[in-house]
Amino acid sequence: MVAIPSIVVVGLIWLPAISSVILSFTKWNGIGNISADDFIGPTNYRNVATNYPPFWPAMTHNLIWLTVMFLVATPFGMFLAVLLDKEIRATRVYQMALYMPVVLSLALIGFIWQLIFSKDNGLLNAVTGSGIDWFGDQRYNLWAALVATSWRQVGYIMLLYLAGLKAVDQSLREAAAIDGCSESKAFFRVIFPVMRPINIIILVVTFIESLRAFDLVWIINKGRNGLELISTLVTQNVVGEASRIGFGSALATVMLLISSVFITIYLRVVMRVDR
């Protein structure tokens, strides 16, 4: 019975991951078979770090992305979930409104934010009278993209967290109320700690979503000019006519290494819970 999941995991996750690592030491262009003289050692990694201008900006942007998601978007989503959990009037309407961005297709989200941020025809500049080139100017476009992404992330986290909150034993709240806890105290001292499993999931989701961050910047400008992310660089090099499979694999391996740090932390935390 374990055989099928194992085959799936090995076939769909480990094999591609290991192949990427092997390919990252080649100069294979994706055409024909790999031969011995395609192997060029760590040259791709050296090129990534020293001879590829978009790489370090991409690392920085990924880090900024993670920080904003972790410190702004995710806590805000959790905050909204707590508010909505209080059974306020028309809570379903709010839930739907906030969750809407998560259901919309990314092409549509890109289009919506284009209408808002476009320099010449955008809503934002029309209303404020500013002439800022939101998506074209490197000083602003990352932040504009982050606003658009947070819009989605908040709804996503909110729904996950709301589900968790609904599952919290009602008697805990009552006990806290009887003991005279203020609402915020009850949340931080009682509810938040018992929600540990869901908190970990939220944490992992935030990390993974930030590392995978791709779709929106790809729709905006294919991840160039101030919107470089590791994932877009991988795509630019591997997908399409460029076909620098070896070079792109080196970038993918860098990404794999970074994410495995988080996965290791996650696994350790989960294991400890189980014990």
Partner 1 sequence: MGTMGAAAFAALAACGSGSTSSSTGGASAGSKASGVVTFGSNQSDAVPKQAYADIISAYQAQSNGVTVTTNTVDHNTFQENINNYLQGSPDDVFTWFAGYRMRFFAEQGLAGDISDVWGNISGQSDAMKGASTGSDGKQYFVPFTTYPWAVFYRPSVFTAKGYTVPKTMDDFYTLSAQIKKDGLVPLAFADKDGWPAMGTFDQLNLRLNGYDFHVSLMAGKESWTDQKVKNVFDAWRKLLEVSQPDSLGRTWQEAAQSLQKGESATYVLGMFVGQQFTAGADREDLDFFTFPEMDSNIGTGAIEAPIDGFMMASKPKNPAGAKDLLTYLSSAKAQEVYVKGDPTVIATNSGADTSTYTSLQKKAVDFIGSAKNISQFMDRDTRPDFASTVMIPAIQTFIGNPSDVDGLVNSIESQKKSIFAS
Question: Which residue number, 173 or 224, has a Cβ lying nearer to partner 1?
Answer: 224
150, 206, 237, 253: which one contacts partner 1 (CB under 8 A)?
237
4, 31, 90, 271: which one contacts partner 1 (CB under 8 A)?
31
Binding positions for partner 1, 94-153, rule CB under 8 A: 118-121, 133-138, 141
Question: Which residue number, 56 or 188, has a Cβ lying nearer to partner 1?
Answer: 56
Are the C-beta atoms of 189 and 177 separated by less than 8 Å?
Answer: no
Question: What is the smallest separation between the CB atom of 137 and partner 1, expressed in angstroms?
Answer: 7
For partner 1, how many residues bind (rule: CB under 8 A)? 36
Q: Which residues pair with 26 in a beta bridge?
A: 39
CA distances from 64 to 67, 142, 205 (A): 5, 9, 16
- Binding flags for partner 1, 37-76, as an x/- string (CB under 8 A): ---x--x---x---xxxx----------------------
One DSSP character per residue, 37-53 reads: GGB-TTHHHHHHHHS-T
Question: Which residue number, 101 or 226, has a Cβ lying nearer to partner 1?
Answer: 226
Binding positions for partner 1, 173-212, rule CB under 8 A: none
Question: What is the smallest separation between the CB atom of 116 and partner 1, expressed in angstroms?
Answer: 13
91, 95, 199, 243: which one contacts partner 1 (CB under 8 A)?
243
- Using alpha carbons, select from 39, 73, 230 the residue that is nearest to residue 157: 73
Contacts of 133 by beta carbon, 8 Å cutoff, 6+ apart: 119, 140
Rounded Cα–Cα distance for residues 264 and 275 (Å): 17
Rounded Cα–Cα distance for residues 135 and 117 (Å): 7
For the chain, first and last CA: distance in Å? 25
Instruction: Report the interface residues with partner 1, using CB under 8 A.
Output: 27, 29-32, 40, 43, 47, 51-54, 118-121, 133-138, 141, 221-222, 224-225, 236-237, 239-244, 246
